[in-house]
Structure formats: C-alpha cells, structure tokens
C-alpha cells in the first residue's frame, strides 16, 4: 500500500472525531447571521470551523510537515532575515541555519518562541539570547516570521509566535508597552474583573506586536516558598488563585492571544527549580487534587487554549517520571479527569530537568505522553530527525502525531479569526488605567495604621543592592505626591525584592516594603510594613500615594507571612 493511501486510511477516522469534538476547547459561536437569510434572500456561507479546516489541511501534509508543526524552538537574532555574526553562529549550532526565517523554512516549523530575560528572572538560565529590543523591532520580526511560515505547505494557518509575558520578574517586553504588576499583585487585589481588564489590555498589545501565544498565566498554587515561582503565582489559596487564572485567560483570549496554563500539575508545590534539576512533588493524590489542580480546572473552564506540562516528578501519580513524559498525568489526569481538549505544550526542553537524554529521544517521549508541541529543544536538527525517524519506524504512532498536529492547526485557525490591532494601541490611556488600577488595588499594609499618612517629614529612600532603579522611581513618585525626599537623614523607607534575604533588611527603617513576595517582611522590625509585589512604575507610584496618605492600602496578602495578618486594614 502506498504511503499517502496508508496515511489517509489512518488519519480519516481520527480527523472525523476531531471535527466532531472541536479539539481545541469549546467551539466558537457561529458568526452573527450565519445560517439565516441575508437581505437578498440567500443564506450566507458560514465561517469554516477551525477544527474542520485543520482536519482538512492535516490530511494533505507530508511526514516532514507533520513533524515540523509540533516543534516550537527559539532562534537567535532580532530580525527574521538579517542577523549579526554572533546570532548566525548561534543558529548554526542550534539548527544548522543562519536566520530564524531559514529555521522555519528548513524544519517546516509550527512556530517560534521569542526569548529574553531581566535581572531578577528565575528563567534566565534557559534563555541564552534575546529577540526583543523595542516594539517596532518586535513587530518587524514577527511579520518576517509569518512571511516565512506562509510559504510552507501548512502556511494557510499562521505560525504560532509565543512569549513568556507573565509580568513581574518574567517579562520579555517592557519598553514601550503597558506593564502590568506581577500575578501575585493581582492576587492581592483580589478582583478577577480587574485581572481580566488588565490582561485584555496586555493581550491587545501583544497581538499588535504580532505575538499570538502567551505562555501565561501561571496556575501554580504557592504551597512552598518557591523562588522560581514566587510572585509568578496568584497566591496560596486554590479557589482564589483559580478565579484570578480564569480572569487572565478571559482577558488574553478576548484580545485574540492564546493563554497557557502552567506548570501542570503545579510547580508551586516544591521549592526546587526545574531549570537546575528535577523537582520532586511529594504531596499525596488527595492534596494534589485539593490544592494544585483547582486553578487548572478554573483555567480550563474559562476556555484556555493551551496547557504547559511542568518538568516535575509527581510521586503520587507517576514516580520518577517527569510530568512532561507521563501519560498518567497528561493523558489520564489532564485530558481524562480535567477534560482539557486543547494544545498541550512542554516546558522548555533545554532545562536541566529533562535535557540529559538526546533531543530526539525527549521530543518523542514528550509526544508519546500526550504533548502536542515541543518547546525549545536544545538542538532543532536532532529533535526534528528524531521525531521523523520515530514516525517512520512506528515508535511514534502516526495517529498520535496527526492528533497533535490537528490540535496545533486548530489553534492556529482559531487565532486567525482575530484581526491584528494597530500599533497605536500600545501604552494607550485605557491600558495604562487598567494597569494603574491593578497596581493600586494590590498595595497591602501588613503592619501600621490605615489612617492618614504613613510617613511625615523628610523621607530617605533606600534599597537593597541592585534595586537602585526602584529606589529612584519611588523617590520621584514621593516627590510628585508632595513628600519631601532627602538624600540622608530622613525617615528611612527601605525596599527589598526578589531573592533578597534578612541581610538586606535595615534595622533603622521606619518603613520596609516588599516589591516581590512578602515573606521577608516577617523578619523586618519596621513599624510600618507594606507589600507592592512588583517594582514597576505603576506599583511604586501607587506605593507613594499610600505613603503620602492620598490612597488607602486595600490589598490583602495572597500568601501567609509568618506572624503578620494578611492586612492591617479591615
């Protein structure tokens, strides 16, 4: 039997099932007027269902195209077609090509992730380059990537262009766009409608830049003092975190950007870092279902189009097998128990937790476990060749690969239904107001009086080492709020942030402020303790207003802080 005929016989039953099920979350409603007579009496043709379009396209693709569509690597360079010598060398080592566009063409890729890092980024170890300089550059880059993808046999569907835009410590694009506070700040604000509005603003700006997948929000419930998750989590209460996750999903996807729930089944259950090794989750099954899974269920109920599998050893379900490679977790629990039907993507495959085996081996293991996209393989050539060989020798069943590609293409066609916003939407007044409201609503007083100014007389702002930018921002905001700021000799307002320790506290500080997780405040002796959970301009401006007595701190700590109330304000 010929290969095309054999493929068709295998594919058709699965494709039919996928058309019926919709495969990428709940189906979109029919467009207004679909199926009803038009003004001329003729019934307008309905918009083709994304799942039907995907099923039709997948049946035409060669093996090489099927393999490429489930790979989503990173690339070096800030342009699709013109890169520096160093970026060209990086791409040659990664994929045997010189430019991102050539990488897409050679491997028929389903998409690319844009990478970068900031000073406090816990994910920086696996982001060896940056693709982000400024909004205009990002827009030109994404347009070039789509041009390259449009020439592929699967080019009827747009490429997936992803990014980790979580805000807070994991923020890839910060200049020229609206910056939201960290997820934990939204947890402190405690209002899912604020979360939805702010994330809709952020999603609109990502879409304007040509980014259509955000690897956010984190659905991790913070059950341990995990520095790798920390303020990336909405908090420690599963129900409250789930409400925030749902708001973020609705906001992003309402703007036409696919949201991703991560890191399934919950990285907040361990303090270890999967960038450096394989964390072990020791919670029993009952605790997992009560604490870790509810935000994922809430995000799925909100319609999330992707879930990211975490590199986690979940002993209660599949001991010593990373969740990335566990059919018990991904197929039985996530798809069977929680009912997720969208795209399942791995966490970065260049992370130490899973990078000990060859890239081809790990890519095949991930797909066989139920993943649909393999993110950031450490060597694109080896991953591609490994998946193609496994397809042809049967160790990766064709039906499994077709299922994965159909889900990916369904997502792509779904995203194509959303028009791209204009670049003028960046930093718009409405978006800035959404960020301001979220930042202001998050400010939490954990010690001190809620009435009146929290500082009087001259103020001296200090900060832990490396936080000079935050110090300067707060000094300027306090001056604008009418507070006299002096270089020394005033009442000390001291800032601490990500990864700071008790050694970074000041015993003489009248006010200590946590600009990341609030845990360190439990060891501070200041008469006034505040948490902003973020150090961006909006958060520090809101802090200045509270210190000056012009605003009331209405936030409530979304995590317990030893010896302190969630808020000192009723």
- CA distances (Å), origin 74, targets 121, 163, 269, 348, 390: 18, 10, 28, 10, 23
275 a catalytic residue: yes
- Distance of alpha carbon 279 from alpha carbon 273, whole angstroms: 6
Interhelix angle 380-393/359-369, nearest 10 degrees: 60
The answer to whether residues 200 and 255 touch, using CB atoms and an 8 Å cutoff, is yes
C-beta of residue 261 within 8 angstroms of C-beta of residue 213: no
Which contiguous run of DSSP H or E holds residue 65? helix 63-69
d(CA 385, CA 447): 59
Contact 324, 371 (CB under 8 A): yes
* SS3 label, residue 454: coil
Residue 355 CB contacts under 8 Å (≥ 6 apart), including other chains: 349, 362, 378
Cβ-in-10-Å burial (0-12, 13-18, 19+) of 78 comes to: buried
Active site residue 431: no
Q: Which of 212, 80, 216, 214 is nearest to 159 (CA)?
A: 212
- Beta carbons of 214 and 257 less than 8 angstroms apart: yes
Catalytic one among 267, 275, 431, 494? 275
Candidate list 65, 120, 347, 350, residue with the active-site label: 347
Residue written as token pair 């342009």: 79
How far apart are the C-alpha atoms of 488 and 481, rounded to whole Å? 19
DSSP string, 233-290: S--S-HHHHHHHHHHHHHHHHHTT-EEEEEEET-GGG-SS-TTTS--EE---HHHIII
Nearest to 217 by CA among 187, 175, 188, 237: 187
Question: CB-side exposure of 77: number of CA atoms within 13 Å?
Answer: 29
Per the DSSP assignment, residues forming a β-bridge with 346 are 309
Give the tokens for residue 333: 């629990």
Question: What count of other Cβ atoms lies within 10 Å of the Cβ of residue 388?
Answer: 19
Secondary structure class of 447 (helix, strand, coil): strand
Residues tagged active-site: 275, 347
């Amino acid at each position: 039997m010929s290969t095309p005929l054999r493929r068709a016989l295998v594919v058709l039953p699965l494709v039919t099932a996928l058309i019926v099920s919709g495969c990428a979350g709940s189906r979109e409603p029919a467009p207004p007027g679909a199926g009803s007579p038009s003004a001329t009496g003729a019934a307008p043709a309905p918009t083709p269902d994304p799942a039907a379009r995907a099923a039709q396209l997948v049946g035409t693709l060669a093996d090489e195209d099927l393999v490429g569509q489930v790979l989503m690597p990173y690339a070096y360079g800030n342009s699709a077609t013109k890169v520096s010598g160093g970026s060209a060398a990086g791409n040659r080592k990664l994929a045997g090509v010189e430019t991102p566009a050539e990488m897409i063409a050679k491997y028929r890729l389903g998409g690319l992730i844009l990478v970068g890092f900031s000073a406090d980024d816990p994910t920086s170890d696996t982001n060896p380059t940056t693709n982000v300089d400024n909004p205009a550059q990002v827009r030109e880059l994404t347009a070039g990537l789509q041009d390259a993808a449009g020439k592929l046999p699967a080019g009827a569907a747009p490429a997936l262009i992803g990014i980790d835009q979580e805000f807070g410590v994991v923020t890839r694009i910060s200049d020229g766009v609206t910056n939201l506070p960290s997820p934990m700040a939204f947890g402190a604000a405690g209002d899912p409608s604020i979360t939805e509005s702010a994330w809709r603003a952020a999603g609109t700006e990502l879409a304007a830049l040509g980014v259509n997948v955000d690897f956010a929000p984190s659905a991790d419930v913070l059950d341990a003092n995990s520095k790798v998750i920390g303020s990336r989590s909405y908090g420690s209460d599963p129900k409250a975190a789930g409400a925030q996750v749902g708001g973020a999903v609705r906001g992003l996807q309402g703007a036409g950007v696919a949201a991703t729930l991560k890191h399934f089944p919950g990285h907040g259950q361990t303090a270890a870092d999967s960038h450096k090794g394989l964390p072990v989750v020791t919670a029993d099954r009952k605790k997992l279902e009560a604490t870790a899974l509810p935000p994922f269920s809430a995000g799925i109920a909100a319609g999330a189009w992707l879930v990211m599998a975490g590199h986690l050893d979940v002993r209660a379900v599949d001991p010593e097998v990373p969740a990335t490679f566990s059919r018990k977790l991904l197929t039985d629990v996530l798809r069977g128990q929680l009912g997720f039907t969208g795209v399942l993507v791995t966490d970065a495959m260049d992370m130490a937790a899973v990078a000990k085996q060859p890239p081809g081996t790990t890519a095949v293991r991930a797909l066989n476990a139920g993943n649909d996209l393999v993110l950031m393989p450490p060597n694109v050539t080896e991953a591609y060749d490994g998946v193609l060989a496994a397809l042809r020798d049967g160790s990766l069943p064709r039906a499994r690969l077709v299922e994965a590609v159909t889900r990916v293409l369904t997502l792509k066609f779904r995203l194509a239904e959303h028009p791209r916003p204009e670049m003028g939407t960046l930093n718009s007044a409405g978006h800035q107001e959404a960020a301001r409201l979220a930042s202001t609503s998050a400010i939490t007083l954990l010690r001190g009086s809620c009435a009146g100014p929290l500082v009087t007389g001259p103020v001296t702002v200090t900060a832990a080492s490396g936080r000079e930018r935050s110090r300067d921002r707060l000094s300027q905001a306090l001056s604008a709020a009418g507070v006299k700021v002096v270089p020394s000799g005033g009442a000390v307002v001291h800032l601490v942030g990500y990864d700071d320790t008790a050694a970074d506290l000041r015993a003489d500080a009248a006010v200590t402020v946590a600009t990341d997780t609030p845990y360190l405040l439990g060891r501070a002796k200041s008469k006034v303790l505040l948490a902003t959970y973020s150090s961006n301009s909006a958060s520090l401006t809101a802090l200045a207003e509270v210190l000056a007595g012009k605003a009331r701190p209405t936030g409530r700590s979304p995590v317990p802080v030893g010896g302190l109330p969630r808020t000192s304000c009723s």
